[in-house]
Amino acid sequence: MNGRILNIQRFCTEDGPGIRTTVFMKGCPLRCIWCHNPESQKVCAEISFNKSKCVECGKCAAVCENGCRANKKHALYQRKLCAGCGKCAEICESGALEKHGEIRSADEICRVILKDRVYYEASGGGVTLSGGEPLYQWELAEEILRRCSDEGIHTAIETCGYGSEKVFRQVIKHCDLVLFDIKETDAALHKRYTGVDLKPILRNLSILNSEEIPFFIRAPIIPSLNDRIEHFTALRKLRESMKSCLGIQVMPYHNIGRHKYDLLGRDYACEDIPEPDAALTEYWKSLI
Amino acid sequence: MIINELLSIGEYAAAGLYEETDRDLFYRKSLALRRYYEKCELAEYRGEYLYPSGVTEQKMRVAPSYLTGLSFNALSRDMLTSDSFERLSREFCAYRSSVPEEHTVAGNMYTHSIPHYERILREGLSSYTDRIKQIEDTDMREGLLHVVKGIECHLSRCIDYLESVHADRRLIDALRTVPMNPAKSAYEAIVGWNYIMYLDGCDNIGCLDTGLMPYYNGENLVPYLENLYDNLDKNNGYSMSLGSLCPSLTLQCLRAAKGRRRPMIELFVDESTPEEIWREAISTVKSGGGQPAFYNGDALLGGLKRRFPTIRSEDLKRFCGGGCTESMLAGLSNVGSLDAGINLLLILEKTIYAELARSESFESFYEKYTGEVQKTVEKVKGEINRSRAKRAKYNPLPMRTLLIDDCIERGVEYNGGGARYGWSIISFAGLINVIDSLLAIKTLVFDERKYTGTELTELLRDGNEALLSEVIRLEKCHGKDIDEVNEFAHCLSKRIFSMTEGGELIFGEGFLSASIQFSSQAYAGRNIGSTPDGRTAGSPLCDSLAAIFGKDKYGPTALLNSVTALDLSGALGVPVVNLNISNNFSDEILKALILGYMKKGGIQLQITYASREELEDAYLHPERHGNLIVRVGGYSEYFNRLPDELKRMIINRTVQEGGHQ
């Protein structure tokens, strides 16, 4: 079983309890306008280009088989021609070009995860599948989770919850913990901000609860978009109505992913959104 | 005539050497010690809890360093007639180590020591007289009695002085008891511990918490311990080990060490270590100072027992680092702490220039290199034995003979094999540079054939920047937890560390490998050109076993897994690892990291808690960071005191983050 992986990050301490290895899977059905990992959205490989690092050596043009660079002396990059093969990034010594997304097998991924088993045991940690969205490559996700679970490793996913009931049930049965994102509780606004319907997400959240799998709700605070009393009140009611919910973790908006849009040649829609300060974050926390 | 000349310049101890020139050297040095303690200037009392306190005054230029230490090096030529100088030099400087200088990284036959504090406090030095009287050898017997008399006299002078300045009555009373008679309270034990430490030149504290346990009744000892640690620090002393047999006492020993440069602490931890010890230890780590270092008792002590089966199980509990952190058994051993330091990268450089161009395969080059290392190790072992024989002949040490078991029972001088155990530590410097260099050679010359051996050699000779930048970016290197690299590193380290196993050591159980650098890796690199790991000409070697040039970019678990892939059990002298962490590590995560590392076979871990920004600022503005302490090599040191290239190396070490990266 193969799939496209953005990164396997060892020693993560914020994606569930203890020391964890987080597998960032590529591809997400949502297009949250504030997304700070835009390189994770498409399931295909992508190349980012940092013009400020480019020394115009021309080596990338020499290895490119798709003619992405018209002028060999200048790293002028025509993204629409790019097949994401990554040969240019491999040869780039200045670090201007970077490939996002590699095909990896479940075997390879599990081998990396198992390397830190002693640290999971010592800390109560384990593995977390994140993304992108792990349900997007659900067969790979299921296989990794099943194997890790069989090895006695604590398993978690961080999910937006968008997927068919069948897929969702298939994946969560191997999870010890789920970190479940609720971006917005108003159906119309959810569709506007993320591009998908809220309904299947709430259905899956109920399934999680009825299956008695412990979960945290993760709620981003996006000033001027979802920082409404009604939204946070709705979140509190959701929490109160679900006995498997361990709590709500708020995730204050930050713009550290802003520059990634430039590198990927995309527009960033949240240019003017301020980062909430600690006092404001505490206020919203107090409502949930 | 020489006696009068030495007395006239106040060199009482040196004069003592010439009182009975027909006696052997041990006796003469013993008598000199007695004369020193009878006449030496006493330390000023400034209201401390312990006496003596502060820096040992060395008003006499000749004594006492050569009476307790290795060589006769404090003599001022200007103060003596040339005849007398020649005579002293001839008679007391005859011992010189013959270990080749390039393989003395971090040490050259230097021997730290740890007195048997516990026995002296339990039995009292006065009782040693009866044991000394059983010694058959007249010179040794009478010499040691002189040393005890000297100490008695010194104590009596100290008490008179303290009375005259109306010192704390409790301190005076304690010194009337210890160390001549058994200690009766924890305070007396610490007063005695301090005094004995000064007798041995303030070198190491030993197993403090277990040693104080018989006297401890739950009282607050922190102020006394702080005084003891300050005395060690001011005299540039070294180590102390802590177990957790009596948690509240261990806690006090840790609390007193907070923010201090010395002693270096070896704290033994495992899953059964009480939570309060973990909390205090991690809080001490986070207070700066790189203390304590965490030790894996099962791996280290079990390994030592396998390596030297003659060690009794009960004696293993007396493990303590001596000097930086060299493996010793407190009060029972004569360990050549850093008898030699093999410069592995220097040998690789020579092998590259001599052999790479004509090597047909990586395997043949590898064999030539390891063969050269083996030859060097054999040569060094021979020189160590020759040097130890000379040391026994020319540098008998009466004080250590008195303070360390079983010299008196055996009637054998300390350097001549009197201690119960002895081994010689050979440290290997530059191992990680060599691992990365060999992997780069394998990749570029033999696997990918990007360069010929001749081309690579020439590029290195020129310090070609493009090449060095290319090799630094190679994926296969130590610190990333790559299976193929780990396997290679294991085989190479096992091969190298095991080279010390064969051959006999005079006056001891055998040789023991280690990877401990002091600050010596800076000097060791100065004469080595650029190397295939990406190191530029003249720059320092790696710091012990951690990754280099920020290559450990996959986090601390990947780094520590790379370290445990090395044959750590082959380097019980010990294998040092320095880890820099940022301030976002939670206590629980740090504890789990340490325990996980030990579960994988990690033996020792030193942690520096400082951000890159703080280190950068200290580099630019040393005046603002007078108290910034870092772990480097096997020891803790003020950042400001390090040579420039080591400061840069520490700044460039990867600072491992504790959260999402």
The answer on A39 and A51 residing in a single domain is no
Q: Is the pLDDT of residue B69 over 60?
A: no
**CATH number where A256 lies:** 3.20.20.70
- The Cα-based distances of B217 to B212, B213, B221, B248, B539 in angstroms read 10, 8, 10, 10, 52
| Mean pLDDT, residues B41-55 taken together | 93
CA distance B86 to B603: 48
Strand partners, B239: B264
DSSP string, B237-266: --EEEE--SSHHHHHHHHHHHTT-S-SEEE
ipTM of the complex: 0.91
Q: What is the mean pLDDT of chain B?
A: 91
Residue with the bigger pLDDT between A140 and B555: it is A140
Contact B473 A10 (CB under 8 A): no
Q: How many domains does chain A have?
A: 2
| Mean pLDDT, residues B545-559 taken together | 91
Q: What is the pLDDT of residues A42-72, one digit of tens each?
A: 999 999 988 888 888 888 888 888 877 755 6
Strand partners, B635: B632
Q: What is the pLDDT of residues B192-224, one digit of tens each?
A: 999 999 998 889 999 999 999 999 999 999 999
pLDDT at A38: 94
pLDDT at B78: 64
| Mean pLDDT, residues B423-446 taken together | 97
Residue B659 binned pLDDT confidence (cut-offs 50, 70, 90): low
The answer on A132 and A58 residing in a single domain is no
pLDDT at B63: 45
Strand partners, A154: A126
Domain end among A82, A100, A118: A100
**Are the C-beta atoms of A219 and A180 separated by less than 8 Å?**
no
Residue B650 corresponds to which amino acid? I
The answer on A177 and A37 residing in a single domain is yes
The answer on A211 and A119 residing in a single domain is yes
The answer on A74 and A6 residing in a single domain is no
| Mean pLDDT, residues A252-275 taken together | 89
> Of B629, B645, B459, B425, nearest to B541 (Cα)?
B645
State the nearest Cα–Cα gap between B366 and chain A, in angstroms: 28
Q: Which of A81-90, B388-397, B556-565, B618-627 has the weakest average pLDDT? A: B618-627
The answer on A31 and A109 residing in a single domain is yes
Residue whose pair of structure tokens reads 């018989």 in the numeric block: B214
Domain end among A100, A123, A139: A100
DSSP H stretches of helix in B165-312:
169-177, 186-199, 208-212, 222-234, 247-257, 275-286, 297-307
Give buried/exposed letters for B320-354 (b at 16+ CB in 10 A, else e). bbbbbbbbbbbbbbbbbbbbbbbbbbbbbbebbee
Residue B287 binned pLDDT confidence (cut-offs 50, 70, 90): confident
Q: Which one of B589, B594, B595, B600 would you mutate to disrupt binding with A, by most A Cβ within 10 Å of its Cβ?
A: B589
- 3 state DSSP class of B314: helix
pLDDT at B92: 67
The answer on A52 and A30 residing in a single domain is no
Residue with the bigger pLDDT between B295 and A259: it is B295
pLDDT at B400: 94
Q: Which of A248-252, B266-270, B373-377, B638-642 has the weakest average pLDDT? A: B638-642
Nearest to B599 among A22, A115, A122 (CB): A122
Nearest to B588 among A116, A118, A123 (CB): A123
- The Cα-based distances of B75 to B6, B24, B93, B400 in angstroms read 11, 22, 10, 22
pLDDT at B325: 87
Percentage, residues of chain B above pLDDT 90:
69
Q: What is the pLDDT of residues B475-531, one digit of tens each?
A: 999 999 999 999 999 999 999 999 999 999 999 999 999 998 777 888 899 999 999
Contact A123 B556 (CB under 8 A): no
**Are the C-beta atoms of B560 and B487 separated by less than 8 Å?**
no
Q: What is the pLDDT of residues B95-108, one digit of tens each?
A: 677 888 888 887 77
CA distance B440 to B460: 12
Q: Is the pLDDT of residue B66 over 60?
A: no
Q: Is the pLDDT of residue B91 over 90?
A: no
CA distance B344 to B104: 11
Q: Which chain A residue has the Cα nearest residue B601?
A: A118
Contact A116 B469 (CB under 8 A): no
**Are the C-beta atoms of B115 and B403 separated by less than 8 Å?**
yes
Looking at beta carbons, which residues of chain B come within 8 Å of A123?
A: 588-589, 592-593, 596
Residue A168 corresponds to which amino acid? F
First to last CA, chain A: 40
The answer on A77 and A197 residing in a single domain is no
Q: Is the pLDDT of residue B182 over 50?
A: yes
Residue A76 binned pLDDT confidence (cut-offs 50, 70, 90): low
The answer on A246 and A118 residing in a single domain is yes
**CATH number where A50 lies:** 3.30.70.20
Looking at beta carbons, which residues of chain B come within 8 Å of A121?
A: 596, 599
Q: Which chain A residue has the Cα nearest residue B595?
A: A122
A13 and chain B in contact, CB less than 8 A: yes
Residue whose pair of structure tokens reads 């580099």 in the numeric block: B619
CA distance B354 to B369: 10
Residue B162 binned pLDDT confidence (cut-offs 50, 70, 90): very high
> Of B70, B62, B61, B60, nearest to B39 (Cα)?
B60
Residue B93 binned pLDDT confidence (cut-offs 50, 70, 90): low
Looking at beta carbons, which residues of chain B come within 8 Å of A122?
A: 591-593, 595-596, 599
The answer on A257 and A214 residing in a single domain is yes
Domain extent at residue A57: 46-100
Q: Is the pLDDT of residue A91 over 60?
A: yes
State the nearest Cα–Cα gap between A19 and chain B, in angstroms: 7
Contact B557 A14 (CB under 8 A): no
The answer on A136 and A58 residing in a single domain is no
pLDDT at B165: 98
Strand partners, A158: A179
pLDDT at B191: 98
Peptide bond into A29 cis (omega under 30): no
Strand partners, A100: A46
pLDDT at B183: 98
The answer on A82 and A17 residing in a single domain is no
Helix axes B431-441, B362-394, angle to 10 degrees: 160
A10 and chain B in contact, CB less than 8 A: yes
**Are the C-beta atoms of B3 and B18 separated by less than 8 Å?**
yes
pLDDT at B356: 98
| Cβ within 8 Å of residue A71, ≥6 positions away | A61
